[in-house]
Amino acid sequence: MTKIIMVIRHAEKPDDTHQGIDEAGMHDKESLSVIGWQRAGALAAVLAPHSKSRCEAPLVRPAHLFATKLNPAHGDHSKRPQQTLTPLARVLAKDINTTFGSGEEELLIQEAIQSEGPVLIAWRHVNIPKITSLLLEKHYLASTPWPEDRFDVILHFERKSNTTTWSLVQVPQKLLAHDQDSSIWPI
């Protein structure tokens, strides 16, 4: 069973100024913006450095990658969680597990916990509080929204030895010029 789960919001989405583009450079409102693709590449460099150096503590190289599945029948059209992990998946030569979608966070966490080695989850921001509340068993967090403008924090959960208790460290990514150097929640 894993002792480390890291959770990120997908990278930047299109807005009034930046259009979404797919990997081929075609306009797609369900894809990352150019800035989002920059963050995705920077995350790959941080979580899987090419040199023998290790990730900056407390971050670790993930052994398993999870992202929200596309489920148009239930309104999930966004490719952004999967695209955010694509550069990292290529560097690690790993597949992205897209078995679970929005609303299936309990099943996601059950499978993530059973994984051997560190886990990285890229998810939609509206459902990250649910993931946090499941791991920390603080159910009030499920109704504490993730800020709309924040794409720049890694939630690093670590399971205490021989327990089901998890601790949380909020790690500012500090990857792009506009990133903030603060956490999201006062936990």
Question: Residue 107 is part of a domain; what is its CATH number?
Answer: 3.40.50.1240
Q: Does 185 map to a domain?
A: no
Q: What share of the chain is helix, strand, coil (3-state, %, to 5)?
A: 30, 20, 50
Closest CA relative to residue 127, chosen from 63, 71, 48, 57:
71
Q: Does 187 map to a domain?
A: no
Q: What is the pLDDT of residues 62-93, one digit of tens each?
A: 999 999 998 877 677 899 999 999 999 999 99
Look at residue 52 and tell me whether its pLDDT is greater than 60.
Answer: no
How far apart are the C-alpha atoms of 15 and 39, rounded to whole Å?
Answer: 16
From the CB of residue 182, how many other CB atoms can be counted at a distance below 10 Å? 10
How far apart are the C-alpha atoms of 154 and 22, rounded to whole Å?
Answer: 24
Q: For residue 3, what pLDDT is reported?
A: 95
Q: Does 25 map to a domain?
A: yes
Q: Does 178 map to a domain?
A: no
Q: Give the mean pLDDT of the chain.
A: 91
From the CB of residue 42, how many other CB atoms can be counted at a distance below 10 Å? 17
Nearest 5°: CA angle at 124, between 118 and 129?
75
Owning domain of residue 129: 4-172
Look at residue 115 and tell me whether its pLDDT is greater than 90.
Answer: yes
Number of structural domains in the chain? 1
Collapsing DSSP to helix, strand or coil, 72 comes out as helix
